[in-house]
Chain A
């Protein structure tokens, strides 16, 4: 049974619907990418899955539980964590404090977990007492991901992890994503950088105008001339 299923989900703001009967699923251990043009509803889908937006129709199941209209703090307890695209760190808190906020719902001692995260992102250990707002873009992105990993989630939602980063850093981030997946965390990500994302992913979904358009294995989508023409920028 898939770890995450989204069935025929419709959601939007005000009178408009951004998502129209979108369905996706994700098996444990997979990396799945959502790509497509601007306005397609990819970020909205993420927010709906994570409970920041309540769907008007449809069903969302995670880890066997129906979590369709749940709030984020309840979904976090199920084992799903989310990294927003912008403003994804607490700028006035130190790196270490950011990590602590990630593990907020844990009442026990999680310093071991912080050490593990620092093993994953060694640079962060150097900066652990520096304010997150004083770091560079790439470092902030690592803080953002580290925070989300503090609870050892089964599924990590990433909203455009490579946005605004230089090509070298993009490379580094995708490498990290691979590492994180290798440890056993499933990943669902929205990406503009479709080529690199699909190369990394087991499967992908192409969304446009709030609907499913194409889906398939990552490599297949990469090589699909239709997809290449429309969404990979040639």
Chain B
């Protein structure tokens, strides 16, 4: 009897691991929401907020991982580079806009001024990050297209340090913050059951992130380029065979990936207490965890993985458990390792892609 059970498990390993992991996630969610002391909706909401920032960053990472076949260690630093560009533009706008539009010089409109500045800054961040990423691809990665993935990883590792040094040279090591003032928390009461606090800024973070995700989904699902990107992610050789111009698609991939990362960077700077040069590599571990959890190459997997990691960060840490909050990266890393051991293709990936 045990022999047949074991062989049944081995035979259906793919499906079993998937359902077990989903089950654990669901149980964890329920435990965090209803059962744990110090649990409840607040940590879950905080986790969703962090997860939505990670989501935007993880998508670019997973796409380049699949389509370009290497783990881009510089992705986190591109993310923070965008955030720093936004910082400079933000400061510039706050100074110059009131001179162009006297109505904004009125102190009563101060908050509005800062919001507009931030918005313009974010747009600049997106363009800046995309431009920078395309430049790096043109100069470096494109020439290494045919190389082994190891070469590309080392090259990207070097680029990560380069970008970090560049950021440090231009903006210094001190923590920078945006001009927007963090608003007071609002008290939310959802369905009479869930009560939690959230600031306007945090709400904007979550809604913007999810909106972008929905737009991305529509893009991938219904546009010609989006479908071609999915096709390339699915089977790069066949995409070439079908006549898809793969270099152009690769540029689109960098564009979307780094554009979303830039938005993530700005939100990170707003929500996580300011900008420092080292944040790029700090966030990278979380991004990798999200990508591997969700399955390399799947943008939907990246979203899912990011949310899981985000929520795990908040419910597996003090005050909900006894683990010190300093160990947050440790939680993400542990989940990453467990995923590699149990189901390396990720939740939404398929087996036979062991690498």
Please say whether the chains A and B touch (CB closer than 8 A): yes
Q: Does B230 contact A (CB under 8 A)?
A: yes
**Which A residues are CB-close (under 8 A) to B243?**
72-73, 76-77, 104-105, 151
Comparing A14-22, A90-98, A186-194, the segment that makes contact with chain B is A90-98
**Which B residues are CB-close (under 8 A) to A50?**
241
Question: Contacts A93-B231, A100-B227, A104-B224: A73 and B238 contacting too (C-beta < 8 A)?
Answer: no
Q: Does A208 contact B (CB under 8 A)?
A: no
Q: Does A114 contact B (CB under 8 A)?
A: no
**Which A residues are CB-close (under 8 A) to B241?**
50, 52, 72, 82, 84
Whether A87 pairs with B242 at a CB distance below 8 angstroms is: no
Q: Does A124 contact B (CB under 8 A)?
A: no
From DSSP, what is the main secondary structure of chain B's interface residues?
helix
Closest chain A residue, CB of each to CB of B248: A73
**Which A residues are CB-close (under 8 A) to B224?**
100, 104
Q: Does B318 contact A (CB under 8 A)?
A: no
Whether A101 pairs with B244 at a CB distance below 8 angstroms is: yes
**Which A residues are CB-close (under 8 A) to B109?**
none
* Bound: A72/B239 CA distance, A: 10
Interface size in chain B (residues, C-beta < 8 A): 18
Q: Does A89 contact B (CB under 8 A)?
A: yes
* Bound: A159/B231 CA distance, A: 21
Whether B238 pairs with A104 at a CB distance below 8 angstroms is: no
**Which B residues are CB-close (under 8 A) to A76?**
242-243
The digit string for A89-120, where 1 denotes a CB below 8 A from any CB of B, is 11111000100111011000000000000000
Enumerate B217-246 residues with CB–CB distance to A below 8 Å.
224, 227-228, 230-231, 234-235, 237-246
**Which A residues are CB-close (under 8 A) to B246?**
73
Question: Contacts A72-B243, A73-B243: A87 and B227 contacting too (C-beta < 8 A)?
Answer: no
Q: Does A42 contact B (CB under 8 A)?
A: no
Most central of A77, A82, A92, A151 by chain B CB within 10 Å: A92
Whether A73 pairs with B244 at a CB distance below 8 angstroms is: yes
The digit string for A10-31, where 1 denotes a CB below 8 A from any CB of B, is 0000000000000000000000
* Bound: A104/B223 CA distance, A: 11
Closest chain B residue, CB of each to CB of A144: B238
B233 CB to nearest A CB, Å: 8
Question: Contacts A92-B230, A93-B227: A101 and B237 contacting too (C-beta < 8 A)?
Answer: no
Whether A93 pairs with B234 at a CB distance below 8 angstroms is: yes
Enumerate A26-45 residues with CB–CB distance to B below 8 Å.
none
Whether B242 pairs with A93 at a CB distance below 8 angstroms is: no
- B interface list, Cβ under 8 A from A: 224, 227-228, 230-231, 234-235, 237-246, 350
Nearest first, the 8 closest Cβ-Cβ pairs linking A and B are A76-B243, A90-B234, A105-B243, A73-B243, A92-B234, A101-B231, A90-B231, A101-B242
